[in-house]
Amino acid sequence: MTQNNPHISRRTALRTVAGASLVSVAGCLNNDGGSGAPGDGTTAPGGQGPLKRVAVEGTTLVVELTADADVDQINLIQPNGEVFGQREVAAGSRQVSFEIGTSYAPGEYRVLALEGEETVVETSLPIQPDLGIMEMGIGRNQPEKMWDGPGDEIAEEAFVTIKNQSSGPDAITKLLFIGDVPYSSDEEGTNYADNEDVSGIYDPEADTEVNEVVIAAGDQITIYSSRSPFAFVPGSGTSCTDEQQTGEFNLILESRVGEKQVSKTYNIQYSASTESNNCDLTINEA
């Protein structure tokens, strides 16, 4: 971090659940038994054989059958070729489901419809998440984007809007702010970055920190920090000075599926102030 006169010191001590949405992952089945282009959960006219629709609803894979379907079992095969699950089709039943949760292996899955031991029809579909950070802001600057709570508490926290832009659900397990924020998440601050028991995610409804937040395929949600990354700690770390200061930090999300990280870099500016905790903060994407 730099400023107009001697360099700024770094801080030495660092601080809902998505609603399920209906998203078709296989699209519509065409007359060749493959997956069609639509991704809106609708069914194409003249769908192939007994499979009417295959879709992910929240964290569940749903297989719908046609009215005249003559099958007695549906198998779901994982990307590695192993059986994920088998479901018997009861007489008169038109739907079976598989709970895939947020601990599945992402990749191409196959759905097999069987009559006895013979495969009547098969289709494949990708099930994998793709998380993107859409917006991030500080409570002190955008209180209208925060939960309804005490102003001084909200001022120290941040909101992050995330979209799952692909075909599988995921769970966000950690929210980190690393770098030149007033109260970083690493060893320069609250030091929970490597602590598996701390997520840094606040749930306003439960009024507590939660272990994870589930985000369905196609969903967009907003989560909140719980460890006050934009709090000024007296006597340590980044405090306001009588000179403008600038720096950079990384916003990092950790997720359960594929154990992936999603990050975005931001510039941060501290205005000049005669009080150590009273400067204005401005952020923008780097």
What lies within 8 Å, CB to CB, of 118 at 6+ separation is none
Residue range of the domain that includes 133: 2-20+129-285
Model pLDDT for residues 35-88, shown as the tens digit of each residue = 333 333 323 334 557 999 999 999 999 999 999 999 999 999 999 999 999 999
Token output for 55: 């879709």
CA distance 273 to 252: 29
My answer on whether 109 and 141 are in the same domain is no
My answer on whether 166 and 229 are in the same domain is yes
CA distance 207 to 101: 25
Model pLDDT for residues 170-195, shown as the tens digit of each residue = 999 999 999 999 999 998 889 999 99
pLDDT at 1 over 90: no
Q: Using the 3D structure, point to which of 95, 127, 159 is the last residue of a domain.
A: 127
Check which CATH number belongs to the domain holding 109 and give it.
2.60.40.3080
Distance of CA 87 to the CA centre of its chain: 29
Decide: residue 286, CB within 10 A, 0-12 exposed, 13-18 middle, 19+ buried. exposed
> Tokens 């989560």, residue?
223
Specify the pTM.
0.82
Closest CA to 268 of 250, 254, 242: 250
Model pLDDT for residues 217-273, shown as the tens digit of each residue = 999 999 999 999 999 987 666 889 999 999 999 999 999 997 789 999 999 999 999
My answer on whether 43 and 10 are in the same domain is no
Can you give the C-alpha Rg of the chain in angstroms?
24
